[in-house]
Amino acid sequence: MAVNSLRCVVWAAFFSVIAAGDAWAEEKTSRAGGEWAQFLGPGRRNVAEEAGLMRSWPVGGPPLLWESKGLGEGYASVVIADGMIYTMGSGKDEDKVISLRLGDGRKRWATAIGPHFEKRSGDGPRSTPVIDGGWVYALGAAGELVCLQARTGKIVWTKHIIEEYDSRAPMHGLRESVTIDGERLICVPGGKQAAVVALDKMTGEEIWRTENPRGRIKAGYASVGVSEGGGVRQYLVFHDRGILSVRARDGVLLWEDDSTSDTENCATPLVHGDYVFYSSAGRGGGVLLKLRGNGESVEARKIFETEALGNLYGGVVLMDDHLYGFNGGELTCIEFLSGRSKWESRVKRGDGRSIDRHGNLTYADGHLYMLGYGGGVALVEATPEAFRQEGGFMPATRGRLRRADGDPSYAQIVVTDGKMFVRDQDSLLCYDVRERR
């Protein structure tokens, strides 16, 4: 183990020198573009710091800049940094981390990280990579955790968190997008040996673990939230029985809440100051907690519980003291501090039909950009006054999917650098959403 750790450190140092050099000359012209380095963007707030975007879309949607094909099956979204896009997909026999050029979608490299993941609910990876400096971190659906050199795709270190921590991947495969916090990588193996672990991001070596009495906390689908609520830095884990918080410094359990839960808790908790909002499509729906510190301890007090916003997987957006998210097949707006419903409505996808069942969304320049379970894309003004849709369409990729009913579009929609990115299984579509002058 000592030899392996030393080898990891040497490789990491070697790649750090490469990344700090001038080797990325061919991408430098693209570096002025926006960055979206982790799942749900900066602070996992699901908010893009964009301006000058279209206020409404023409029939058929905004202009398509390019389409990148051959990504394989899967539900990974994209992350973007230094003029490059990173995602995950499947090949015939293996699942991969993939790098594309931001300017034209051309593939730069693809690195296999493990065997092809197959499930009746859909094949391929579920989670989204994270970029930190010159490295890309990614988690496979069966538990393969890897660190790769962003420029070349070479593997720096690898660790199988399901095997190492005596765990079991959930029914639909791991969907968590790992969290980088300073020098630590945080993930949730949910095994008999550990509920939550912090790893050295440079080597993969364990820093601390949160004990898991009786294996009660299982690996799941939601990504970890980071909070300073109550004056204590902590990690929020939404697992299959509720939400818990562990202290960032040492992994000590701080508090738990099980007001809402389902067998498939997928949505990342939303953090706002001392508040935490988490939601599920199961009992309870959405819950707002307020955190209060007491030295190194933290207490969580419930502010409200509401059935008006039970978000399954697409996350929520907080803007101007209002929350927006899907509640079943309806887009919903509620007051953040009271839970009072402002409006709810079906969203049209461009062919007269509604976005069906569920969807995901992100915020940019006064609007909500959303991608429905069935592939429809829509634009809605982010205002508590009333529901105002400003466009919707069905991507051409929907007619090319292998299943008669179409594979679900679970990948999170991303808006940055004046572009909208829609991952639809084998293809990534890049649209120009800048205001026409």
Q: pTM for this one?
A: 0.90
The pLDDT assigned to 356 comes to: 66
CA distance 322 to 341: 10
Residue 285 pLDDT > 60:
yes
Q: Is the pLDDT of residue 409 over 90?
A: no
Domains of the chain: which residue ranges? 34-432
Q: Quick one: pLDDT at residue 214?
A: 74
Indicate the burial class of 39 (C-beta count within 10 angstroms; 0-12, 13-18, 19 or more): buried
CA 271 to chain CA mean position, Å? 14
Sign of the Cα torsion 151, 181, 115, 414 reads: negative
Looking at the predicted structure, is the pLDDT value of residue 234 above 80? yes
Average pLDDT over residues 324-346: 94
What pLDDT, in 10s, does the model give residues 371-406? Answer: 988 889 999 999 999 999 999 999 987 655 444 345
Q: Give the separation between CA 259 and CA 309, rounded to whole angstroms.
A: 14
pLDDT, tens only, 355-364: 766 889 999 9
pLDDT > 50? residue 3 = no
Where is average pLDDT lowest: 17-21, 293-297, 348-352, 381-385? 17-21
Q: What is the pLDDT of residues 72-127, one digit of tens each?
A: 999 999 999 999 999 999 978 899 999 999 999 999 999 999 998 887 677 889 99
Is 330 in contact with 307 (CB distance < 8 Å)?
Answer: no
Question: Which CATH number does the domain 34-432 belong to among 2.130.10.10, 3.40.50.720, 3.40.47.10, 3.40.630.10?
Answer: 2.130.10.10
Among 342, 393, 337, 348, residue whose Cα is nearest residue 57? 393
Neighbours of 319 (CB within 10 A): 18
Three-state secondary structure of 2-33: HHHHHHHHHHHHHHHHHHHCCCCHHHHHHCCC
Q: Is residue 312's pLDDT more than 60? A: yes
Percent of the chain exceeding pLDDT 70 equals 88
2 CB-contact burial (10 Å; exposed 0-12 / middle 13-18 / buried 19+): exposed
